[in-house]
Amino acid sequence: MAETICEIEVEIKNADGLHMRPAMQFVDVASKFDSDIKVSNEDTSVDAKSIMQMTMLAATFGTKLKVRAEGSDAQEATEAIRYLVEEKLFDEKPG
Amino acid sequence: MEIRKGIAVSPGIVIAKPMVFDSKDFRIPRRSITASQRMSQVKRVRNAFAEAINELTELDQAHSIEEGKIKDIFAVHLRYLRDKSFRKRITDYVCEELTTAEYAVSVILREIASHFENLKDTYISERAADIYDIESRLLTILLGEVRQEVEDLTEEVVVIAHDLTPTQTAGFNKTYVKGFATEAGGRTSHTAIVARSLGIPAVVALEDVTTNVTAESMVIIDGNRGVVIVDPDEETLDQYRQYALDFLRLEHELDTLRDKPAVTRDGVQINLLANIEFPEETGQALEKGSMGIGLYRTEFLYLTSGSEPTEEDHYKAYSETIKAFKGKPVVIRTMDLGADKLPSRTRYSAEINPVLGLRSIRYCLQNLTLFKTQLKAILRASVLGDIRIMLPLINNLQELRQTKMIIRDVMEDLDEDSIPYNSSVPIGIMIETPSSAITATLLAKDCDFFSIGTNDLTQYTLAVDRANEHVATLYSSADPAVLQLIRGVIHDANKAQIGLSVCGEVASDPEFIILLLGMGARTLSLAPPMIPEIKQIIRSVTVEQCNKLARAVAGMDSQRQIKNYLRDAAMKILPEAF
């Protein structure tokens, strides 16, 4: 399969933001895919598969994050992340 | 070469390689490594991560699904530990900055934690606590390795630490640990007591000493002058080798006193007994000429194994010692630990004020199974020689009577099983609180002997924590209040015609001996290495001189005045010892 690049923007919609538990879910979902996935919040860009880097992003409610996936399953990866962040809201209460 | 001045708490001179003990409760000092040690430190980081992952996986499995919150926390910590970029940040730091694994872990984890703490969102900033928790887990593993090394030593070392706890010193391989240097502590701290009982030099209250030492250093500990020298030059080394020889020679001279009696010039016999911390010290106590054991501390039994000692563990430790002393008295003090110091006990949460809390006899009276196990072993050993039971921290008659009732219960149990014991085993108490000192006459009716524990008595009377370097200077057994209590207890014991000994620090302080004799003490119990020196003082004085000095001190009103007077008097009576 060809290498593809896929970039989307997601908004943090759960009230408590990307604290430890949501960050953990984010990393777990990202890690299921082969693609290299980067998440950026303004100037900071981090590896979506590293819990340390993801928690240090400190994305609070309302933050818009850029998710950029590069690899054979880039499309599926960004979709799974979008679903987790914007629809499933990490199984947390909405803001 | 780095010279540090501290407080000398145990005499002697040693030159050896250091073993540094860091504590995860204090800042880990930056300690450099050489380029060739990089790989071994990186490996330590990796092993610590692997070990932490194992621990957490086990903990995770031990918790049920219902404890969802706890499981979430473990899950987050596990992901952190499996995060390769996180681990790499630490190993990179080791390689680039050339520091130890411990230092790199504490620097990086603190960087991450402070990143969280600086965030405005409180929910996320609170996550710094998770980072500190991970740091603590990794450091416990890394520092535990060092502790293991001290247990498995094969060459002589000196131990350098912020402070030493009873749990740490109990685990030391005593054949190879030849000296202590710590940042905290005073004359009566645990480090000082252990060093004196082992007969190794120790210097405490050395600021930042753990920072100056590397694995490659050579260290001189001068327990006579209170000096620690890191990486001495050739000239200094030569000088200290000479000091060490001189000191040994003096010690041998004093050892010739071993078979001479501890008798004053006017013929009054003084009974010199030994305080011991571990059964290994029995040989040294005999060698230095002690007439028995006046204080056998039994805490090591609870601290070495990591689990509660069995009756057989107790019995073995006591019977070995009593056999070695062939009919001479052995005073065994029952467990004297705080709830916080006991391993495998999670029922008690940390106390704000442990010294005034659940400890010693109070803990025993609330944990009868543990207490009776020890009492049973002591009673069983009582048929082997002159064993006496000493109860610590007794505050009043009610506690004493309650404890004696428990001892009778244990005796009845032994009767039922037809196990022999000495039914008239002497039972005595430590006098170490103002309450027991003031009511000594009442307590004397119900026990066979007193032993004055001057360290705790001073601490409780003056309300000063002797291990706290900020107030340690306020701690003095020469304080008029403390001396008044000691004088009263000796008087009350003599009047009631029960046994009386002094087993605290002052009994091995040359300047105090004359005063103690003058106040009427005839039995002293002290660290074995100090016995020859104290015996020499006793053999140089008359009881009349001692009485005169005690009368003069009774009329003085300040600690400083008394201290100076005692020093001057000691120098006049015995110039060569000072």
Asked whether the beta carbons of residue A17 and residue B121 sit closer than 8 angstroms, the reply is yes
**CA–CA distance, B435 with B91 (Å, rounded to integer):** 57
Contacts of B117 in chain A (CB under 8 A): none
Give the pLDDT of residue A20. Answer: 82
Reported in sequence order, the residue ranges of B260-400 that DSSP labels E, i.e. its strands, are 271-276, 293-296, 329-333, 386-391
**CA–CA distance, A53 with B258 (Å, rounded to integer):** 69
**CA–CA distance, B361 with B364 (Å, rounded to integer):** 5
Nearest-CA distance A7 → chain B (Å): 23
B353 token code pair: 């004020």
Classify strands B202-204 and B293-296 as parallel, antiparallel or unpaired: unpaired
Between chain A and chain B, the number of residue pairs with CB atoms below 8 A apart is 51
**CA–CA distance, B545 with B517 (Å, rounded to integer):** 10
Give the pLDDT of residue B272. Answer: 97
Question: Are A2 and A30 contacting, i.e. CB atoms less than 8 angstroms apart?
Answer: no
Which residue is closest to B113 within chain A, CA to CA? Answer: A56
A91: region left, alpha or beta (phi > 0 left; psi from -120 to 50 alpha): left
User: Cα B474 to the chain's mean position, in Å?
Assistant: 20
Closest by CA to B277, choosing from B373, B370, B197, is: B197
Contacts of B85 in chain A (CB under 8 A): 47, 50, 52-53
Domains and CATH numbers, chain A: 4-91 (3.30.1340.10)
For B252-277, b where at least 16 C-beta lie within 10 A, e where not — what string?
A: eebeebeeeebebeeebebbbbbbbb
Of B83, B86, B123, which has the smallest distance from its Cβ to A19's Cβ? Answer: B123
Contacts of B115 in chain A (CB under 8 A): 56
DSSP code of B349?
A: P
Of B79, B121, B124, which has the smallest distance from its Cβ to A24's Cβ? Answer: B79
Instruction: Pick one of 2.40.50.140, 3.20.20.60, 3.30.230.10, 3.40.50.300 as the CATH number of B256-577.
Output: 3.20.20.60
**CA–CA distance, B462 with B157 (Å, rounded to integer):** 37
**Beta-carbon count within 10 A of B33 CB:** 20
Question: Are B311 and B377 contacting, i.e. CB atoms less than 8 angstroms apart?
Answer: yes
Angle between helices B510-518 and B559-573 (to 10 degrees): 100
**CA–CA distance, B254 with B288 (Å, rounded to integer):** 9
**Phi (first) and psi of residue B182, to 5 degrees:** -130, 160
Query: Looking at this protein, which amino acid is placed at residue B309?
Result: P
CA angle in degrees (0–180, nearest 5) for B61-B62-B68: 75
Within the 109-148 window of chain B, which residues sit less than 8 Å (CB to CB) from chain A?
Answer: 112, 115-116, 119, 121, 123-124, 127, 130
**CA–CA distance, B527 with B188 (Å, rounded to integer):** 12
Contacts of A18 in chain B (CB under 8 A): 124
Q: How many helices (H) and strands (E) in chain B?
A: 24, 16
Q: In the CATH scheme, what is the homologous superfamily, with its name and number, of domain B2-22+158-251?
A: Phosphohistidine domain (3.50.30.10)
Of B86, B116, B130, which has the smallest distance from its Cβ to A50's Cβ? Answer: B86
**Beta-carbon count within 10 A of B324 CB:** 16
CA atoms within 13 A on the CB side of B500: 24
**CA–CA distance, B348 with B338 (Å, rounded to integer):** 10
Asked whether the beta carbons of residue B80 and residue A16 sit closer than 8 angstroms, the reply is no
Give the pLDDT of residue B32. Answer: 83
Q: In what order do the strands lie in the sheet with A64-71?
A: A4-11, A64-71, A36-41, A44-47
**Phi (first) and psi of residue B230, to 5 degrees:** -100, 135
Query: Looking at this protein, which amino acid is placed at residue B246?
Result: D
**CA–CA distance, B138 with B135 (Å, rounded to integer):** 5
Nearest-CA distance A8 → chain B (Å): 24
**CA–CA distance, B54 with B46 (Å, rounded to integer):** 13
Give the pLDDT of residue B538. Answer: 94
Of B72, B80, B123, which has the smallest distance from its Cβ to A16's Cβ? Answer: B123
Q: Would you please indicate which residues of A are annotated as catalytic (active-site) residues? A: 19
**Beta-carbon count within 10 A of B347 CB:** 7
Question: Are B379 and B422 contacting, i.e. CB atoms less than 8 angstroms apart?
Answer: yes
pLDDT in 10s for each residue of chain B, 578 residues: 889 888 888 889 999 999 888 776 667 878 888 889 999 999 999 999 999 999 888 887 776 655 666 777 888 899 999 999 999 999 999 999 999 999 999 999 989 988 888 877 777 677 788 888 899 899 988 888 777 777 777 889 999 988 887 777 777 777 899 999 998 877 667 788 888 878 899 999 888 888 878 777 899 999 988 899 999 999 999 999 999 998 888 888 888 888 899 999 999 999 999 999 888 788 889 988 999 999 999 988 887 766 789 999 999 999 999 999 988 999 999 999 887 667 545 456 677 888 899 999 999 999 999 999 999 999 999 999 999 999 999 999 999 999 999 999 999 999 999 999 999 999 999 999 999 999 999 999 999 999 999 999 999 999 998 767 688 789 899 999 999 999 999 999 999 999 999 998 899 888 899 999 999 999 999 988 889 989 999 999 999 999 999 999 999 999 999 999 999 998 887 665 55
- Mean pLDDT of chain A, nearest integer: 91
Nearest-CA distance A76 → chain B (Å): 23
Q: Which helix (H) or strand (E) holds B210?
A: helix B209-212
Secondary structure of residue B505 in the 3-state scheme: helix
Domain map (residue ranges) of chain B = 2-22+158-251, 35-151, 256-577
Contacts of A24 in chain B (CB under 8 A): 72, 75-76, 79
Give the pLDDT of residue A73. Answer: 94
Asked whether the beta carbons of residue B85 and residue A52 sit closer than 8 angstroms, the reply is yes
CATH number of B35-151: 1.10.274.10
**CA–CA distance, A5 with A74 (Å, rounded to integer):** 6
